[in-house]
Structure 1
Amino acid sequence: MILILMGVSGSGKTAVGSYLANKLGWKFYDADDYHPKENKEKMVNGIPLDDEDRIPWLCTLHEILMREISLGENMILACSSLKRMYRRILTGEQSATNRTLRENQERSQLGCSKNILFVYLHGPIQLITKRLDSRKGHFMSPSLLQSQFATLEPPEGTENFINISIENSISEIVTEIERHLG
């Protein structure tokens, strides 16, 4: 099983993900660690990332997911996954390269998308702004929060996801996620 904790910056993806991974004994990856230097520089300078910036980063994360699935490992990835297209790239349901739809369908049949659950961490912008304002040492400028909310396409429909409010404590959020895992 792979959990992808998604949401805007400041929603608690890293804090919840590392806590849950430690509790379950699963691997934990923070997508922020895989941003190229150019992306980090843009964010430090308050410049929002666009699809052209994000897609190579998402492809790198997709390869990590495929590797862990092929090894049969359980893992948690903290990744904003703001757009449906980004989530589809992560799961292999949509290609960001020249792969054909047939290749993507074959990859999907390997179990990639079925073994991935998106955990949408959401909350009021006032709470998230307060968290970002108090966060130290992160490259993401709090001024970019509005652009993240503008980009955000919450999961819906046939996407494999659960909604989790971030208005509770980290331990309560983790307990709620564990309940969904069974």
Structure 2
Amino acid sequence: MKRYFLILALILGTTGIAQNDKTIYQFKVENINGETFDLNSLKGKKVMIVNTASKCGFTPQYAELQRIYEQYKDQGFVIIGFPSNDFGNQEPGSNEEISEFCQQNYGVEFPMMAKIKVKGEEKHPLYQFLTEQSQNGFKDSEVKWNFQKYLIDKNGRLVAVKGSSVLPSDPEIVNWIQE
């Protein structure tokens, strides 16, 4: 009987079911000012994680991200921006330049993190979690371009992935925030 449970535990562990306990709360990241940002501080909030870029056709989404953030931040919703230069060299600036750009052009007040890799060999551990079902217990995905959105529920679990062309104000996203 013991052997049966050991085999069952091994099978469940390799299917990702046992990984469902993993959340974004296990991660600490660096914010755009070089300070540690503990994602554990977001417990009980819905979170949208977005990889951003300043010189992209989707860059105007910063305005909508800020608008949605302002509208729902007092209702337990947070947006976190992760600048990345992984697509077409569209985020070449330093963290300081990115911060200044976001503030001057879009009045960004939602948390912005330090520039990271969201794909490839040097992919940040948070993005490994977001893109690998074996870690997130939800689904495999690939960051295909700037402004891809990852929706995280109040328990820190990945629940949806939205492509770059899906606007932050898309009814499906807004309905999810309001649930």
User: Given the two structures, how large is their TM-score scaled by the length of structure 2?
Assistant: 0.32
- Structure number having the greater helix percentage: 1
State the TM-score, normalizing by the size of structure 1: 0.32
Relative contact order, CA 8 A, sep 6+: which one is greater? Answer: 1
